[in-house]
Amino acid sequence: MTGTSCDGVDVALVRLSGPLNARRVELVQLASFAFRRRERQRLLAACDAAAISVAELARLNVWLAETIAAAVLGACRQARLAPARLAFIASHGQTIYHQGRPQPFLGRRLACTWQLGEAAVIAARTGVPVISNFRAADVALGGQGAPLVPFVDWLLLRHPRQPRAALNIGGIANLTLLPPDVAPESVCAFDTGPGNMVMDALAAHCSQGRRRWDRDGRAAARGRVLEPLLRRLLADPYYRLRPPKSCGREQFGRAFVARLLAAASRAAGDDLLATAAALTARTIALGLALGPDRRTPWEVVVSGGGLRNATLMRMLAAAAPHCRFRSSADFGILPQAKEALAFALLGDRTFHQLPANLPAATGARRPAILGQIAYPPPR
């Protein structure tokens, strides 16, 4: 998995067993490989730029595939596991453009999503079949191609009596609402808005590039929330949309941060970070209010890097006091491994020709078998 934050490649080696509709999941190894600063800058430029050369995109597509392949082989070495023992590799790739809602283009209305990381290269370097391009099949059926992890949330976290919500705070924050004993066709899931993305950009800006993020939310804890600015940010039409909905750097990337900085040019950096943390917390709370009852006492299972931001988690508890927030580790899922592990399960569905999208979450007309398979050269 490479996420919206473009920090690096997370590799989860996962052992799957049991029936296909009730898989048992064991995390064998988690390995993370950070991008160098200049590598991350090139990827971010591809995600955020209005115009970038075709040559740059083509090279990044192959470079990222080589990087992912090296990461998988590195994880296998750490686990002392021969790559030949892998049934498949499920690679999400790096999203560089995501337009979930159809827009006019050359006489048609189109939605589209694009992830870099050429699967054929990964297969050739590792000798293992590679499943990739997970989002396209859902988009082809009228869906937004996101979010896809809610199927895994439903598989692993639903409860017969306890209302649960799965919250992942990566670059973008997303929620899966799981009322008691919910059927898959009734799951509500969506992106709530920015997770760490805006905070990370502000941390880099305020430190002249010395920091990638606000570690533990320490700078935000020193600041104060600029309520007038926060009210302006919360007026973004995205938060008023009903699900299904998804978002990315197109809405909350470089241009959004530039507007924020222009609107608060004299604000202290710590205050900007506190305000960005409050934006994430309050928009997640708005999402939690979209259930059948605005004050449903959700047991919120949290994963992703945002869980390590103590200031954000305090703000979140204050914004949704009727909810109980717990780490996904309490449920046997390492927070930093959640999304990589999820794509292992989604790849397993593809490998066995089974659908894995939730049309109620993505807006697709019907279930879809996700992904495409690239096979390695014959031995």
Residue 128 and residue 180 in one domain? no
Scanning the structure block, which residue is given the tokens 């023992």? Answer: 85
> Do both 118 and 227 map to the same domain?
no
User: Domain of 193: which CATH number?
Assistant: 3.30.420.40
pLDDT for 326: 98
- Give the pLDDT confidence score for residue 209 in this predicted structure: 86
Residue 259 pLDDT grade (very low, low, confident, very high; cuts 50, 70, 90): very high
Which is nearest to 288 in space by CA: 187, 158, 153, 166?
166
Q: Do residues 302 and 215 share a domain?
A: yes
CB 283 within 8 A of CB 194: yes
122 half-sphere exposure, CB direction, 13 A CA radius:
26
Q: Verify that 173 and 201 share a domain, yes or no.
A: yes
Task: Give the pLDDT score at 288.
Answer: 96
Range of the domain at 48: 8-145+337-374
What's the one-letter identity of residue 265?
S
Q: Do 32 and 102 reside in the same domain of the chain?
A: yes
- DSSP of 102-156: EEEETTEEEEEEEEE--HHHHHHHHSS-EEE--SHHHHHTT--S---THHHHHHH
pLDDT of 294? 84
239 and 353 belong to one structural domain: no
| Same-domain status, 312 and 210 | yes
| Residue entry with tokens 């209305």 | 109
* Run of H or E residues at 71: helix 54-79
215-250 CB burial, b ≥16 within 10 A, e <16: eebebbbebebbeebbeebeebeebeeebbbbbbbe
What are the φ and ψ backbone dihedral angles of 296, each rounded to 5 degrees?
-55, 130
Instruction: Output the pLDDT for position 12.
Output: 97
pLDDT of residue 375: 98
**CA gap 164, 235 in Å, rounded:** 28
The pLDDT score that the predictor gives to residue 22 is: 87
Beta-carbon contacts of residue 262 (< 8 Å; ≥ 6 apart)? none
Confidence of residue 48 (pLDDT cuts 50, 70, 90): confident
The verdict on 163 and 113 lying in the same domain is no
Using the predicted structure, report yes or no on whether residue 33 has a pLDDT greater than 90: yes
- What distance in Å separates the CA atoms of residue 234 and residue 359, rounded to the nearest whole number? 28
Residue 1 domain flag: no
Q: Distance between CA atoms of 177 and 165, rounded to whole angstroms? A: 5
On whether residue 288 sits in a domain, the answer given is: yes
Looking at the fold, whether 309 and 189 belong to one and the same domain comes out as yes
The whole-angstrom separation of Cα 99 and Cα 93 is 16
Residue 91 placed within a domain: yes
Residues 184, 86 share a domain = no
Residue 198 falls inside a structural domain: yes
Residue 223 C-beta-side C-alpha neighbours within 13 Å: 26
Distance separating alpha carbons of residues 278 and 227, to the nearest angstrom: 9
- Residue 349 confidence (pLDDT): 97
C-alpha–C-alpha distance, residues 30 and 328, integer Å: 15
What's 378's DSSP letter?
Answer: P
Whether pTM exceeds 0.85: yes
Half-sphere exposure of 121 (CA within 13 A, CB side): 17
Is omega for the bond preceding 359 within 30 degrees of 0, making it cis?
no
Q: Which residues pair with 103 in a beta bridge?
A: 110
Residues 168 and 307 in one domain: yes
In angstroms, the CA 95 to CA 239 distance is: 22
Count of domains forming the chain: 2
Is residue 275 assigned to a domain?
A: yes
User: Do 170 and 221 fall into the same domain?
Assistant: yes
114-128 pLDDT tens trace: 999 999 999 999 999
Asked if the structure places residue 2 within a domain, the reply is no
**Is the Cβ–Cβ distance between 346 and 340 less than 8 Å?**
no
Give the alpha-carbon dihedral of 142, 144, 145, 149, to 10 degrees.
-130
* pLDDT computed for residue 222 by the predictor: 97
pLDDT tens digits, residue range 70-126?
999 999 999 999 999 999 999 999 999 999 889 999 999 999 999 999 999 999 999
- Where residue 239 falls among pLDDT bands split at 50, 70, 90? very high
pLDDT tens digits for range 280-300:
999 999 999 987 778 899 999
